[in-house]
Structure 1
Amino acid sequence: MNQPRQTPDLARITARAEGETPESRSSTISAAWDDLKRGFEQRELWLVLGWQDIKQRYRRSTLGPLWITIATGVMATALGLLYSLLFQQSLSEFLPHVALGLIIWGFIAGCIKEGSEVFIANEGLIKQLPSPLSVHVYRLVWKQFLFLLHNLVIWLALLAIFRPALGWNVLLIVPAMALILVNGVWVSMLFGIIATRFRDVAPLLDSLVQLAFYMTPIVWTTKTLHAQGGQVAQRARLAEINPLYHYLEIVRAPMIGEDVAAYHWWIVLGFTALGLLLALLAMRQWRFRVSYWV
């Protein structure tokens, strides 16, 4: 069925009612970037909505979000004890590696899996709330970041128990976290738009994330494989192909007192720039169709 044609004046009035200008509705990269900017400026909205998501999820629960921390801590302890025996590694070194890997992975996996359904889950708000599309993405990333902050209690407990030698490179956590957040935004935006149009993408991403967990050095280390030498050490280099390994490394290494090689940063920066470009291209082409697809 043909859509009713809007006159220029009517289109302008509709755009103003939605808090947008005709320029911001154009199919250009600058208009897509403007959506991200205007969405960030409405941070009072998505900060409150993200916090409400957590409160609603754990309504009538005594411990609330700490249940996630407890579950992550128990899993990290179990996997750390088991694999430290299998790989014959020191528990004081291996347990923090596993625990921080699970914490950071929780944020990455949450942005990918929930990001693929971010617009579908917010169908009502998208159709009724006059706000940029990026508001819903910021809301999701903020919620996942709050979960990550809750789980960092485990890291503080490990610091108190094992007392690793942390140097000035621990300050690298700040830019590393910033990069992780930026990547969470473009991942949620890109996969959210694609999965809203093609509904088979979300379950496919769920399976791929589960597969990527075992291919990423979370419950194993590249050092162990390199130490065995021979073909095992050569195959260990395949881990370098996995971009998620580099994301984990720039955050985890400073938190356990290890140095971060510069190439990890360059790879993450490269993927960040590429991902932002892909997200902007997707927004330029399809962001105004999301409300019809949900």
Structure 2
Amino acid sequence: MNNLICAFDDVTKSLVRNQLFFMLGWQDVKQRYKRSKVGPFWLTISMGVMILTIGLVFGRIFKTPITEFLPFLTLGLMLWGFIFSCITEGCTSFISSAAIIKQLSVPLPIHVFRVIWRNGVILGHNLIILPLVYGIFMKPVYPIALLSLLGILLLVLNVTWMALLLGVMSSRFRDIPQLVQNLFQVIFYLTPIIWMPHLLPARASTLMLDWNPFYHMLEIVRSPLLGIAPSATSWLVSIAIAIIGWLVSLSVYGICRNKIAYWL
């Protein structure tokens, strides 16, 4: 119980010092694109080209109207890019900040929040594509789209505890980042991102949708923006994962918090 309290205290202190991880995350983005005229918008251009290419090719393969498929694909790829980057970079959040951890006494979750904020900034740049797609296909935005704000909050809560847990584990076991990257390449194809859920036969949908937590986390953000109410199951699964995941993550972090600096 003491470990859990200490872990919660570290997370709270990190959130209070939000200016620190905001600054560090923003500096990461600026440093990555130093002396570039376009800057992080290169990622937006790359994302736009990928969406257009996959949309034209897979839209024909799946015989899905492009006006329906492209907005679905755009949201799926942007949100998946955020999830994938947060979790895979979260694996190395402590490792990449080893010098700071060894020299400065700051709450360790700050380094995880730095990763989440950095990728949130990149997601913000990529969101520029969405109104362009909606404008081209004259797709209306319904009031239900406001539910996506609650969905993105739950999504951020979930990827944050995953990044924290995997960051602790990766500090001790250095093979975990490679394992996670390979695992997420498989999950990408098992999750409806470049294919639409209605294309699955009934038997396969139970395994690939109902038992896929990443599908539910995507749906609570993507569906409202497409004018569709997410199912109660998707909300319940996302909330349950957030609660259980944070309890597990904080417990593991609380046990290992004093050992992380020695593992780096």
TM-score (norm 2): 0.97
Q: CA separation in 1, counterparts of 2:103 and 2:118?
A: 22
The Cα shift of 1:28 comes to 2.2
2:202 pairs, out of 221, 230, 233, with 233
Are 1:118 and 2:93 matched, yes or no?
Answer: yes
Deviations 1:194-238 (CA, angstroms, capped at 9, x unpaired): 01101111110010011111111001011122xxxxxx3321222
* Higher RCO, Cα 8 Å, sep 6+: 2
Q: Which amino acid in structure 1 is aligned with residue 207 of structure 2?
A: L
Superposition map of 1:29-48 within 5 A: 29-48=4-23
Asked if 1:160 is matched to 2:132, the reply is: no
The 2-side partners of 1:76 and 1:234 are apart by 29
Runs of 5+ in structure 2 lacking a partner?
Answer: none
- 1:203 corresponds, among 174, 178, 184, to 178
Report 1:62-77 matches (<5 A).
Answer: 62-77=37-52
Matched residues, number: 263
Residue in 2 aligned with 1:228? none
Q: Paired residue for 1:143?
A: 118
Task: Quote the offset at 1:73 in angstroms.
Answer: 0.9
* 1:46 Cα deviation after fit: 0.6
Q: Aligned AA for 1:241?
A: W
Aligned to 2:27: 52
* SS of equivalent to 2:120: helix
What is the identity, as a one-letter code, of the residue corresponding to 1:223?
H
Provide the C-alpha distance between the structure 1 equivalents of 2:190 and 2:24, rounded to a whole number of angstroms. Answer: 34
Aligned to 1:271: 241
In 2, the alpha carbon distance for the partners of 1:257 and 1:112 equals 28
Structure 1, gaps ≥5 residues long: 1-25, 226-231
Report the CA distance between 1:259 and its aligned residue.
Answer: 2.0
Identity of aligned residues (%): 39
How far did residue 287 of structure 1 move?
A: 1.0
Alignment of 1:4-19 (within 5 A): none
Q: Would you say the 8 A contact 1:27–1:285 is kept in 2? A: no
- What's the offset of the Cα at 1:289? 0.7
CA distance in 1, matches of 2:14, 2:204: 44
Pairing 1:258–2:233 present: no
Q: Residue 286 in 1 paired to residue 256 in 2?
A: yes
Report the equivalent of 1:89. 64
1:107-148, Cα deviation, whole Å (9 max, x unpaired): 110111111111000000111121000110111100011111
What SS does the corresponding residue of 1:62 show, helix, strand or coil? coil
Match of residue 152 from structure 2: 177
**Which of 242, 246, 252 pairs up with 2:212?**
242
Q: CA deviation at 1:27?
A: 4.3
Q: Is the 8 A contact 1:164 1:257 kept in 2?
A: no
Question: RMSD of the alignment, in Å?
Answer: 1.1
When Rg is computed on C-alpha atoms for both structures, the one with the higher figure is: 1
Code of the residue aligned with 2:126 in structure 1: it is: N
Give the distance between the partners of 1:144 and 1:286, measured in 2 at CA. 26
For residues 255-280 of structure 1, what are the alpha-carbon distances to aligned partners after superposition, in whole Å with 9 as ceiling and x for unaligned? 12222111110000011111101111
